[in-house]
Amino acid sequence: MRTNFANPFRPGAGHMPPYLAGREDEKEQFKKILHQDVILENMVLTGLRGVGKTVLLETFKPIAVDLKWRWIGADLSESTCVSEETTAKRIITDISMITAGFSYTVEKQPLGFGTSQQQEEIALSYSYWLEVFNNTPGLVADKIKAVIENAWEVIKSTGSTGVVFAYDEAQNMSDKPKKDEYPLAMLLDIFQSVQRKGIRFLLVLTGLPTLFPKLVEARTFAERMFRIVTLTRLNKEASREAILEPIKEAEVKLNDESVDLIISSSDGYPYFIQFICREVYDVFQQKLSTGQQPSVPLQEIESKLDVDFFAGRWARATDRQRDLLVAIAALDTCDQEFTVQELVEKSGAILEKPFSSSHINQMLSTLTNSGLVYKNRHGKYSFAVPLFGRFIRRQQSEQQARQHSFTF
């Protein structure tokens, strides 16, 4: 048994947990995609915040590298997707990261009256590919295809199986018809086109559940271009592994009751497991060092989680939007999916100023844009933030308690 065992739990955006539980099926699906003789399927990895998309994407990298794929990983920030040209330059930057160590030799004519030719090494750097891009006639898509086709000849010669372009936060991409800019449609067109030519450039996109509808809206063929892998919460067995495996050699031990309470409170979401376990570990370690009987301080942990994870999102909602969110949280199905009609009925039952269906549709659209809800493929809505309904109900209980304390 080890003493002074550092707290192994790491809540945070994209932080690798000490033990990745319950994602073996997703890894197997990725391996199948890598083994395609001809690339017919790319991958979309989607799910709510906190389910571990970024972490899983990082675990894909060594799998690809072992099979001699080159790996390119980047976040698709909003600035990357402003226009077709900025998206193209993102791809050029990524390609140059692989080819920067390569060069080719050109013969230069001597100056003056010299007769011996001189040789010059041209590095396949960002500036080189940018020159290829600028010197290729046609649209932005034509220019970037020329870069890709030339780069593939170089990469293929090294014995590489292909290149994985792994882009996180891909829901940030969108077309802008009013500005005549279609970066998302262009990205899909480019990869479909070069894959048809046998170029082994594989596209892996991760993002929130709003991502795939955006892809299909941009290009209807996207539905056939991607294998959709939806990450959900961990089951009880995997949750238990995520809690216990990191501390199996530590002095701190959790009994079954504590583990069950953590699983129930986190609802199997990996981020919340990490957050709650980190707090529990610190409390248990402190109490054990002073000879006290440790227990899970659930209320205090929930309060800290509310401040750290939920409060910022809640603060961005207007008072009227909060009324609608309260109505959603009051639904029995708020953690799964809900309809406009259900919200009309619920708001009429619990709110002083209920909503009409048209008003709810407008507000759901606004809440979707702000990342609080999303419309799924069945035309129903869901919270885009896990356990948001629980947070809202806690907020309501606290507000009612405060109001009651001022009642004489």
Q: Name the β-bridge partners of 382.
A: 374
Whether residues 245 and 379 fall in one domain: no
Question: What is the residue whose two structure tokens read 């279609």?
Answer: 182
Picking from 230, 246, 273, the residue at the C-terminal end of a domain is 230
Sign of the alpha-carbon torsion through 378, 384, 387, 393: negative
Whether residues 216 and 240 fall in one domain: no
Higher model confidence: residue 108 or residue 82?
Answer: 82
Whether residues 378 and 326 fall in one domain: yes
Q: How far is Cα 185 from Cα 206, in angstroms, rounded to an integer?
A: 17
Q: Which one-letter DSSP state was computed for residue 379?
A: S
Q: Is 386 helix (H, G, I), strand (E, B) or coil?
A: coil
Question: What is the residue whose two structure tokens read 């259900």?
Answer: 342
Whether residues 360 and 248 fall in one domain: no
Q: What percent of the chain has pLDDT over 70?
A: 92
Per-residue model confidence as pLDDT tens digits over 170-195: 998 999 998 999 999 999 999 999 99
Q: What percent of the chain has pLDDT over 90?
A: 69
Mean pLDDT of 202-225: 93
What's residue 1's pLDDT?
A: 40
Per-residue model confidence as pLDDT tens digits over 368-380: 888 899 987 677 9
Mean pLDDT of 397-402: 73
Please give the model's pTM, rounded to 2 decimal places: 0.86
Tell which phi-psi region holds residue 159, choosing left (phi > 0), alpha (psi between -120 and 50) or beta.
Answer: left
What's residue 6's pLDDT?
A: 87
Whether residues 332 and 284 fall in one domain: no
43 φ, ψ (degrees, to nearest 5):
-130, 140
Domain limits at 260? 236-296
pLDDT at 341 over 70: yes
pLDDT at 298 over 80: yes
What's residue 32's pLDDT?
A: 96
What's residue 120's pLDDT?
A: 65
Q: How far is Cα 227 from Cα 408, in angstroms, rounded to an integer?
A: 61
Residue 31 belongs to some domain of the structure: yes
What's residue 285's pLDDT?
A: 83
Q: What is the CA radius of gyration of the chain?
A: 26
Whether residues 63 and 79 fall in one domain: yes
Q: Cβ–Cβ contacts within 10 Å for residue 41, how many?
A: 16
**Close Cβ partners of 47 (under 8 Å, ≥ 6 residues apart):** 53, 208, 209, 230, 231, 232
Residue 12 belongs to some domain of the structure: no
Residue 387 belongs to some domain of the structure: yes
Q: How far is Cα 317 from Cα 366, in angstroms, rounded to an integer?
A: 10
Q: Mean pLDDT, the chain, as a whole number?
A: 89
> DSSP for 152-203?
HHHHHTTT--EEEEEEESGGG---BGGGTB-HHHHHHHHHHHHHHTT--EEE
Q: How far is Cα 335 from Cα 386, in angstroms, rounded to an integer?
A: 8
Whether residues 270 and 159 fall in one domain: no
Q: How far is Cα 70 from Cα 158, in angstroms, rounded to an integer?
A: 11
Residue 134 belongs to some domain of the structure: no
300 φ, ψ (degrees, to nearest 5):
-65, -40
Indicate the pLDDT class of residue 87, thresholds 50, 70 and 90.
very high
Whether residues 77 and 226 fall in one domain: yes
Residue 401 belongs to some domain of the structure: yes
Residue 49 belongs to some domain of the structure: yes
CA contacts within 13 A on the Cβ side of 191: 27
Whether residues 270 and 357 fall in one domain: no
> DSSP for 8-20?
----STTPPPSS-
* Cβ atoms of residues 224 and 175 within 8 Å: no
Q: Domains in the chain: how many in total?
A: 3
Residue 317 belongs to some domain of the structure: yes
Per-residue model confidence as pLDDT tens digits over 97-143: 999 887 766 555 555 555 555 666 778 899 999 999 999 999 999 99
Whether residues 329 and 284 fall in one domain: no
264 φ, ψ (degrees, to nearest 5):
-65, -45
Sign of the alpha-carbon torsion through 314, 320, 324, 327: positive
Residue 93 belongs to some domain of the structure: yes
What's residue 236's pLDDT?
A: 96
Picking from 252, 269, 296, the residue at the C-terminal end of a domain is 296
Nearest to 59 by CA among 15, 100, 90: 15
**Close Cβ partners of 232 (under 8 Å, ≥ 6 residues apart):** 47, 51
> What separation in angstroms does the CA of 404 have from each of 31, 302, 393, 400?
58, 22, 16, 6
CATH number at residue 371: 1.10.10.10
Picking from 173, 203, 230, the residue at the C-terminal end of a domain is 230
Mean pLDDT of 187-215: 94
* Cβ atoms of residues 42 and 226 within 8 Å: yes
Per-residue model confidence as pLDDT tens digits over 31-81: 999 999 999 999 999 999 889 999 999 999 999 999 999 999 998 888 888
Q: How far is Cα 83 from Cα 80, in angstroms, rounded to an integer?
A: 8
Q: How far is Cα 396 from Cα 112, in angstroms, rounded to an integer?
A: 85
Indicate the pLDDT class of residue 403, thresholds 50, 70 and 90.
low
Q: How far is Cα 69 from Cα 51, in angstroms, rounded to an integer?
A: 26
Whether residues 76 and 200 fall in one domain: yes
Per-residue model confidence as pLDDT tens digits over 381-399: 999 999 999 999 998 887 7
Whether residues 67 and 84 fall in one domain: yes
Per-residue model confidence as pLDDT tens digits over 145-174: 999 999 999 999 999 999 999 999 999 899
